[in-house]
Amino acid sequence: MKINQLFLPFLILAISSNSFLSSAAESPPEVVDIDGKILRTGVDYYILPVVRGRGGGLTMDSIGDKICPLDAVVQEHHEIDQGLPLTFTPVNPKKGVIRESTDLNIIFSANSICVQTTQWKLDDFDETTGQYFITLGGTQGNPGRETVSNWIKIEKFDRDYKLLYCPTVCDICKVICKDIGIFIQDGVRRLALSDAPFKVMFKKA
C-alpha cells in the first residue's frame, strides 16, 4: 500500500505526539510544597508534621551518651522548631522534579563534626527495640544492590504525604516495603518503619 507523501509528515507527527502523551501520562504526579510549588532536585526543604502538637521538623541526633556517629533521624520536640533543611535527589539525578513513588536520596543540608554523610538510609534490625530505624551514613546515587538501603519514596497520603521505604533500584533484591513513622525511644521521637505513617508536608527553606 502506498502512502501519500504529503500525508507522511502528519502521520509521523501524530505518532510522535501520541508517544509523548503516553510517556507523560505514565509519569507519577509531582510532589508539591505547602505553597503548591513543585519540589525540585537540590533545593532545600523542611519536612514538617501535618498533625500539630506532636513535635516539629526533622533533625540529626546520636543515640546514647556518644557524640559520634550521628545515627538517628529524629523529630524536634517542639512544634516551632523546623529542624534541619534537606535535599531530595531522584534515582535519575538529571530529573529536576521530585515525583511521587520515585526512589530518592534524602540528605540533610548540614555540616557534621562526625566523619560520615548526612544521607538517610535504613539501618539493620535493632533487636533491643524490635525496630528498623532510619539512620545516617548512606551513599548517594549508584542505584543497585549495594545501595538498596539508601532509597526512600514520597507517597500521597490523604491530602498530604508520607514517607515510604520500598526501593525498586534492585530487581533481584528482597526488600521490606513499609511506611516510615515515629517510634519513641527514651523520649526521643525517632523515624522507623511503622504501620502508622508519619504524615508530612514540605516547606521551602
CB 79 within 8 A of CB 55: yes
Predicted local distance difference test score (pLDDT) of residue 25 = 54
CB 29 within 8 A of CB 156: yes
Predicted local distance difference test score (pLDDT) of residue 13 = 38
CB 192 within 8 A of CB 134: yes
Residue 22 banded pLDDT, cuts 50, 70, 90: very low
Residue 98 pLDDT exceeds 60: yes
Query: Mean pLDDT throughout 20-26?
Result: 49
Predicted local distance difference test score (pLDDT) of residue 61 = 94
Residue 54 pLDDT exceeds 90: no
Q: Computed over its alpha carbons, how large is the radius of gyration of the chain?
A: 20
**Are β-strands 178-185 and 200-204 bridged in parallel, bridged antiparallel, or unpaired?**
unpaired
- Of 51 and 11, the one with more pLDDT: 51
Predicted local distance difference test score (pLDDT) of residue 111 = 83
Distance CA 137, CA 155 (A): 23
Query: Mean pLDDT throughout 91-109?
Result: 94
In order of their start, the domains of the chain are: 43-204 (2.80.10.50)
CB 114 within 8 A of CB 66: no
26: cell is 505514565
pTM comes to: 0.85
Coil/strand/helix, residue 100: coil
How high does pLDDT run on average in the chain? 88
